[in-house]
Amino acid sequence: MPNTIQFLRKYRIYVKNDPTVHELAKFFGEMALLDYSLAHIRPSHVAAAAVYISCQMLGKEFPSAAYEIMRLSKFELAALAKMFVAPFNIWTAKSAPLTMLRTNYEKLGFGKKIHVYKLDTLIFDMDCLSLADRE
């Protein structure tokens, strides 16, 4: 059975092989393994949300061709991404239950971005999507 990292490798092509997006997406993939509220999500959907959120956080363009490859509409992907907000805030807090995950990514240079940037401030434009995107 494929796991999240295999899907991240597949989706990496669609974000122009950007190593920064890939490394940050791996953080979200690992976080999904640790957080019970995300345990029910398919590995392919975890990877899709991870790439989407990473692009948003790093100010990179999320390619429109990726929606078809990921087999998710814009609305579905935005809804998935919203599910990562609360776990992200828990796992990146200074009082996180397990600091190993945060520490590993601080070593890669994401520490400042993760601590300073609040994921819940990202705009997931669900209300602006047309009804066609919701189907």
Residues of the chain with pLDDT under 70: 108, 110-135
Look at residue 87 in the predicted model and tell me its pLDDT.
Answer: 87
Look at residue 127 in the predicted model and tell me its pLDDT.
Answer: 40
Look at residue 118 in the predicted model and tell me its pLDDT.
Answer: 53
Look at residue 92 in the predicted model and tell me its pLDDT.
Answer: 76
pTM of the model: 0.81
Q: Where are the domains positioned within the chain? A: 4-134
Give 52-120 as a DSSP string. HHHHHHHTPPPPTHHHHHHT--HHHHHHHHHTTHHHHHHHTSTT-S--HHHHHHHHTT-HHHHHHS-GG
The yes or no reply on domain 4-134 and CATH 1.10.472.10 is: yes
Look at residue 49 in the predicted model and tell me its pLDDT.
Answer: 94
